[in-house]
Chains A and B, each alone.
Chain A
Amino acid sequence: MGLKLIQFRLDSGDPVDACVLQALEQCHGSEHKVAKRLVQVYALAGIQNPAVNLAAAQQQAAAEQLPVETCFVAQAVNQVPQLSEDLNAIEVNYGEL
């Protein structure tokens, strides 16, 4: 649906991972609400002006029945996919062995 999901799970009371903070700052300036138990950050891949798409992201989350408490729409679309890639766990391409 043109949405790229970056998901971070935070447990209430846990120290908030600085990486999540950084991601949220990139996505939503200083307005992040990291106290939420579950935070899901949406970057709108391929949308040039994502700032207006909070409602679209929320609709999409509802359509996918995701347990969303807070949705953030990426302001910096170009940065978020890169951040997402960096954060990925090691992937093994067995064909390259």
Chain B
Amino acid sequence: MDLDDTPDQAAFRAQVRSWLDEHASEAPVLSGPDALQDEDAIIAARRAWQGKLAEGGLAGLTWPKEYGGQGLGPIEQVIANQEISRAKVPGILDAIGVGMLGPTIIAHGSDEQKARYLAPLLHGDEVWCQMFSEPAAGSDLAAVQTRARQQEDGTWRLSGQKVWTTNAQFASYGLLLARTDADVPKHKGLTMFIVPMDAEGVTVRGLRQISGEAEFNEVFFDDVQLEEGAVVGGVGNGWGTGLTTLMFERVTIGLGSEGMGYNSTRFASALARDEHVRRDHEVRHRLGEIAAELIAIRFTGYRTLTALQKGQVPGPEAGLAKVTLVNGAIKAGDLIADVFGPDALDDDSEWAYMISFLPGLKSAGGTEEILRNTIGERVLGLPPEPRLDKGIPFSELRSKEGAAA
């Protein structure tokens, strides 16, 4: 039992570190007095930096070499992430594209799609966004209503709305799940498309959250025309294609949660500054309970890495760490606000943003309730709840829902 690198991993770490030592000065500055301020300038600088990371072999490490990747494993990806964080430089801008959408195209895309899209995606020349969720299709993702209809000439017409779309405001392309057949049961009538974000009829609108900032977008499609070759993975196979994306999402979240800054050391440091606070029984008890769980998921991460190293794919139980992380951070924010009072909620406090951000994070990447359902069924083997939508054509389901409401 050890937490050490193998000789190969140590060699790889040294190689990454030396590249970063050499190039760190070229990275965009995002905090401190010299930080870039203008939103467009930040995005441009981060895209250029992603290109440099890709050239240095530090983006898309797990991609096959023929698509510009390094053909390495998730452990090397984690090592690269650790070194990037140690060098205090930003990582890649398009983590969703490189981590989830590119791999989906590699798995299901046509040769033409791979040749056209993968290299610009990896280098940050074209940023991608994921357009799966809708206002009425989140936990029940297969209920998407955005409709694509094929024309006689083979092209498609797309209408509908997506939501929670990170990076849509500057993305070049999006991977979109649409309904192409409403007369079959809902999982069967779906198709995955590549959508150019500058196409006529695409409207992106920022969605402000509790913090006041707009990190997500709503995207509207008004009779948008798509080429025949925009289909990924075949017409009617959208659900299977989407599951591939979600599997890569689990891996991405599983490997990246430590980077969110919700760790026990940070919370303890804030509370330790006041001598009365650090001796207070209630503060200590609350901090101890929160910290013990946050420390636990750090080692859950190491257990996941051990499994990955042996070639195993993380299962749905990885979702439990997310539940622990989000709820632990929520309790920590609550404790800190109890101790520091309204000051903790000021705009310039490091805690206000965290406190505002977390309620939404509870639902991101699968609500806590859906995660617990999935884990209860797939890990503990408990029976699913009876479903009222099995085997029923989507169009009939919609009219049934209408009648019930």
Q: Do A and B bind each other?
A: no
